[in-house]
Amino acid sequence: MKKISVSLSGHQTSISLEPEFIQVLHDIANKRGMSIASLVAEIDSHRQINTNLSSAIRVWILKYLCQKN
């Protein structure tokens, strides 16, 4: 696991993800011309209240990659 820090709604947040997920998150953000923090904020704004952010990011990445194939 690796931690990344991002600012969400003005609050610093640490997210623990496997390095592979962080790399894919970085790649997707670059392809979309945005920062990782902006992409994480977008994912965060759509997640269900009872889902933790790390899990929401993993599921979002999976769905994103499935849509690309």
Phi then psi for residue 49, to 5 deg, are -60, -35
Which domain, by its residues, includes 59? Answer: 2-68
Number of structural domains, the chain? 1
CATH of the domain at 27: 1.10.3990.20
Q: Is 19 exposed, middle or buried (0-12, 13-18, 19+ CB in 10 A)?
A: exposed
| Percentage of residues of the chain with pLDDT beyond 70 | 99
pLDDT of 19 reads 95
pLDDT < 50 positions in the chain: none
pLDDT of 68 reads 78
pTM exceeds 0.75 for this model: yes
